[in-house]
């Protein structure tokens, strides 16, 4: 019996590629040498390709989707799927799955670590020792977490994990979202108002058009010169130009960033600042978590081709395509 054919539009790490090749016939569109090679490969595989593998940061336009008329499922390796054309997928009855939950703890841990690193300037303190500056005097005082208030933009599963962890650090918790939830934390329907009332502002909301530049100059101005901004969401969630200006002008106290608008390109104006911590989008980047993500992405494909409901159909397609 022949294996179902799928196409990969993102680079496949070995731990993900191995089970895919074991269970499916995999066509590597991402590895095509140039645009002409991509067109030739699509023409060859489109009549028989039934599945697609993408990453959280992958971008697929409706016209690109249309080139695969027999596509049945897109399995996204990642939580974010804002690059997928959901309306076009719904119309074509193409399932889209992602890998939520398995990385919740990892991302929440990273958000807390980034908050500590930024507020306490641990990276700057490390460089201070390496440069031999400790021999000349003590490192400047930094800021505590305990007794402060954190405002979380997006109290989803990961947001709740961050809240629990920071509450254990004796921080008060507030959150901003579309709706008030049945939690004990303080709810804000106005982001500028929440930013004005908190000491640390953490973004963990989905990306996409609905949240583009949600954190803008007005929000940063409200956060103020004693407030810190942490982003473990998507680079698009913050107006990056406004953020750079806020750092340069001292409008906010500092920032800890795992994501950027044009990553891996990072504004050089943010380099070598004691009050800025920069990570290369590694919130979920551990062997254990990435393996769990790969397992779920493969499982969704296997369930679909076995005629069974997938595990994690994205919510926007519920009721629009078969589970």
Concerning whether 273 is annotated as a catalytic residue, the answer is: no
CA atoms within 13 A on the CB side of 153: 29
Cα-Cα-Cα-Cα dihedral sign, residues 300, 89, 27, 292: negative
Is 299 catalytic? The answer is: no
Q: Measure the CA angle with vertex 56, ends 88 and 191; round to 5°.
A: 90
**Residue 53 and residue 84: Cα distance in Å, rounded?**
11
Is 263 an active-site residue? yes
Tokens representing 263?
A: 């990553």
Annotated active-site residue in 5, 193, 263, 316: 263
The secondary structure element, H or E, covering residue 153 is strand 149-153
User: What crossing angle do the helices spanning 122-130 and 104-119 adopt, rounded to 10°?
Assistant: 60
Does residue 121 come out as left (phi exceeding 0), alpha (psi in the -120 to 50 range) or beta?
left
Two tokens at 189?
A: 């329907």
Which position among 27, 50, 165, 234 bears the catalytic label? 234
* CA–CA gap between residue 231 and residue 84 (Å, rounded): 22
Report d(CA 213, CA 211) in Å as an integer.
Answer: 6
The token duo for 188 is 């804000």
Instruction: Considering the candidates 157, 213, 281, 316, report the single residue annotated as catalytic.
Output: 281
Residue 141 tokens, joined: 């005082």
The CA distance from 52 to 290, in Å, is 19
Catalytic positions are: 234, 263, 281
């Amino acid at each position: 019996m022949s294996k179902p054919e799928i196409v990969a539009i993102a680079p496949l790490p070995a731990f993900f590629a191995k089970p895919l090749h074991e269970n499916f016939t995999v066509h590597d569109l991402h590895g095509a040498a140039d645009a002409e090679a991509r067109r030739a490969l699509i023409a060859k595989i489109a009549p028989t390709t039934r599945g697609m593998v993408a990453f959280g940061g992958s971008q697929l336009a409706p016209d690109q989707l249309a080139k695969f008329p027999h596509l049945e499922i897109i399995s996204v390796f990642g939580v974010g799927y804002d690059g997928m054309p959901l309306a076009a997928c719904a119309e074509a009855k193409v399932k889209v799955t992602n890998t939520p939950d398995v990385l919740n703890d990892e991302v929440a841990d990273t958000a807390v670590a980034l908050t500590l690193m930024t507020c306490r300037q641990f990276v700057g303190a490390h460089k201070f020792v390496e440069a031999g500056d400790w021999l000349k005097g003590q490192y400047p005082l930094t800021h505590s977490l305990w007794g402060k208030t954190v405002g979380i933009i997006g109290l989803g599963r990961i947001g709740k994990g961050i809240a629990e962890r920071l509450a254990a650090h004796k921080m008060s918790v507030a959150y901003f979202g579309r709706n008030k939830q049945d939690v004990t934390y303080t709810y804000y329907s106005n982001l500028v108002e929440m930013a004005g009332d908190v000491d640390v502002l953490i973004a963990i909301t989905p990306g996409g058009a609905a949240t583009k530049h949600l954190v803008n100059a007005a929000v940063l101005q409200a956060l103020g010169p004693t407030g810190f901004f942490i982003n473990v969401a998507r680079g698009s969630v913050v107006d990056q130009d406004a953020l750079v200006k806020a750092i340069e002008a001292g409008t906010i106290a500092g920032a800890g960033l795992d994501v950027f608008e044009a990553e891996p390109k990072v504004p050089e104006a943010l380099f070598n600042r004691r009050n800025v911590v920069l990570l290369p989008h590694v919130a979920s980047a551990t062997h254990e978590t990435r393996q769990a993500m790969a397992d779920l992405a493969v499982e969704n494909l296997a369930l679909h081709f076995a005629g069974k409901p997938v595990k994690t159909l994205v919510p926007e397609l519920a009721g629009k395509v078969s589970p």
